[in-house]
Chains A and B, each alone.
Chain A
Amino acid sequence: MSLNEYRGVWVFAEQNDGRLRRVSLELLGKGRELADRLRVDLVAILLGEDAGKLCTELIDYGADKVLWADDPELRCYRTDTYTKIIASQIMEHKPEILLVGATYVGRDLAPRIARRLGTGLSADCTSLDIDEETRLLQQTCPAFGGNLMVTILTPKERPQMATVQPGVMQPLQKSTRKGEIISIPADIEHKDMRVSRLRVIEETRRGIGLEQAERIVSGGMGIGSVENFKMLGKLAELLGAEVGATRNAVEAGWASSDRMIGQTGKTVRPTLYIACGISGAIQHIVGMKDSELTIAISKDPKAPIFQIADYGIVADLHQLIPLLIQELLRYKGAR
């Protein structure tokens, strides 16, 4: 393989129901930086029907070019159709990097593409860097529940592929930019339709996803019961925040699994994170350490969560939370 033939940074632009997933915009933000440092184009590859608007959006968020396959059969993600189109575009255009969001689609798709191309793939990266000299992508991800960080390279194969955790990279400011939309063939055959989605069974998600939340009030085992967790929800509501939880709180049945933050759950970076009754295990911290302002409340002054907090309160939550709710209500009423 002649590595020098491979140039350009590509981002898989994931659409769901005609809307771009936020992680794709985040990847364009990071991809822009990488492409500028490598002095190459940033290309988004989008599969979907009637997605002209999305193409423009991708350009506004930093793409120089958008490769777009337009076909009714691409509305809904299918492993086989998506793998085939993207892999054949890669073989034709030879990008040096392909970034994919670590979503349920991305994690299904990226390994299949990597295997077809015989190249390396790293999973759930939280940081990406480039060595401009060697053009090697340094792919860093947490390992062993966040106890260690591992940096992975793909020295001899191209493209260098990584899935990236949602919520970690920053999208650029949206602005009107110039870019090129290039249509690519879909070429879907009957044999690419081996798996069908019959229907969506239930929509569990209310409100916005935690990854997008600007404010999060999060609860751990210190909350103590499902009733108290509801009270935490009240506090969150008053603060305009979403509710998060530790894995243990989810396992206790106090919160649904889409609320879980950390290694097994979501990675978040809100402006405000209030950790209530959370000890601060490393597996939790990896998911919220980039919050702008962290406030921790625990009755144990030695809890590790205080090491990463900006403000700490050592108190019994059973007393403090009702008081906070009362004070907030009073404050809001007074205004």
Chain B
Amino acid sequence: MNIIVCLKQVPGTNDVRLDPETGSLIREGVPSIINPEDRNALEKALLLREEHGGNVVVISMGPPQAEVALRDALAIGADEAILLCDKAFAGADTLATSFTLGSAIKKLGHFDLVLCGTKTLDGNTGQVGPQLAELLDLPQITYARRVEIQGEILKAERVFEEGYELMETRLPALVTVTREINEPRIPSIDQIMQSYREKEVKTWGAAYLGLYEHSVGLDGSATKMSKIYKPEFGKGKVEFIEGSMEDMAQGLLAKLKERNLI
């Protein structure tokens, strides 16, 4: 079974700043991690490989430093890693991201399953998985908290408002997973060192993929960020109810009575 895992490097904190000029992330000084759900996707891929045999390829579009995330993935157990890295890819929205990822996956050729996270910590749109499925003309199951494969048949439990639904499709397919699906393994120091010594991260650019610059990155994007700002919430007019514990309890109920809430 050939499995492709899409993996994004994201800032490990929400305390990030954006460049107001370009709308792009200021990455300097912000620690990076593998998007948590993508680790779950990788873990699932490795478990499926243990069960069915095959090959796990991790693929990421990002700046040169995203190689670190791919090295981690190799250390954890991925067989191959591909970094889609090119100045022309910068500033991509989900349309351009899915296009670039999809083009690379087509180039890889045969596969049975594409696994993604449901959402990233940074862009947080949850759009790349379905868009990639559309581009590759694959059936998709999103928000999967459980995935099983028997022969050609994939079954997954999908989260929805009222509970969970059991979905079934035929391979090849694309599935986006939630953090519930498993507990990702952590690489040992040895494995990390080995991933640098013995394994290779391939880097593919726009030219290698045969992509025009206007169809990728900022130019290939349909959305533009027009404004970024700090939200203002403060009502700033809190009235404290004070006194003894009894005073406070009764004071609170009095306010509710005033407004006909009890």
Residues of A within 8 A of B (CB): 16, 79-80, 83, 103-105, 107-112, 114-116, 118-124, 138, 140, 142-157, 194-205, 209, 215, 239, 271-272, 282-283, 285-286, 289, 293-296, 306-315, 319-320, 323-324, 326-328, 331
Contacts and interface: CB of A to CB of B under 8 A. Distances in A.
Nearest to B23: A150
Contacts of A110: 127
A263 to B, nearest CB: 9
Contact of A312 (B93, B167, B222, B239): B239
Interface string B55-92: 00000000000000000000000000000000000000
Contacts, number: 233
A294 B161 CA distance: 26
Contacts of B125: 111, 121-124
Interface residues of B, number: 74
Contact of B164 (A201, A306, A323): A201
Contacts of B252: 295, 311, 313, 324
Contacts of A153: 223-224, 226
B249 A323 contact: yes
A18 B6 CA distance: 36
B134 interface: yes
Given A202-B164, A215-B261, A154 B253 contact: no
B228 A111 contact: no
A320 B227 contact: no
Contact of A194 (B139, B157, B159): B139
Contacts of B131: 111-112, 114-115
A50 to B, nearest CB: 20
A111 B224 contact: no
Rank and list the top 9 A-B pairs by shortest CB-CB distance, nearest first.
A120-B222, A123-B125, A194-B139, A120-B223, A111-B127, A151-B227, A111-B130, A115-B134, A145-B14
Interface string B208-234: 000000000000011111111111011
A152 B234 contact: no
B102 to A, nearest CB: 9
A144 B14 contact: yes
A312 B133 CA distance: 49
Interface stretch (B107-115, B186-194, B240-248): B240-248
B238 A324 contact: no
A145 B227 CA distance: 17
B255 interface: yes
A122 B160 CA distance: 21
B29 interface: no
B148 to A, nearest CB: 12
Contact of A307 (B225, B226, B238, B248): B238
Given A79-B140, A142-B231, A324 B163 contact: no
B202 to A, nearest CB: 26
Given A148-B229, A310-B238, A107 B262 contact: no
Contacts of B15: 144, 147
- Greatest chain A CB density within 10 A among B125, B222, B240, B248 is at B222
Nearest to A21: B161
B112 to A, nearest CB: 15
| Dominant secondary structure of chain B at its interface with chain A | mixed
B220 to A, nearest CB: 10
Contact of A202 (B129, B163, B169, B228): B163
Interface string B18-47: 100000000000000000000000000000
13 contacts: A107-B126, A111-B129, A138-B226, A138-B227, A147-B14, A148-B229, A202-B164, A307-B234, A307-B236, A308-B235, A310-B237, A313-B241, A320-B249
Nearest to A306: B238
Given A120-B95, A296-B238, A313-B240, A155 B164 contact: no
Interface string B156-190: 01111111111111100000000000000000000
Nearest to A155: B224
Contacts of B234: 307-308
A115 B130 contact: yes
B149 interface: no
B139 to A, nearest CB: 4
Given A153-B226, A308-B235, A239 B261 contact: yes
B259 interface: yes
Contact of B165 (A119, A201, A205, A286): A201
A157 B224 CA distance: 11
B262 to A, nearest CB: 7
A310 B235 contact: yes
Contact of B143 (A104, A146, A157): A104
Given A120-B223, A200-B164, A202-B164, A115 B253 contact: no
A123 B134 CA distance: 18
Given A118-B222, A149-B228, A293-B261, 17 more contacts: A104-B159, A107-B130, A108-B130, A111-B134, A112-B140, A121-B222, A123-B124, A147-B14, A147-B16, A150-B227, A202-B164, A205-B163, A239-B261, A272-B261, A308-B235, A311-B241, A328-B253
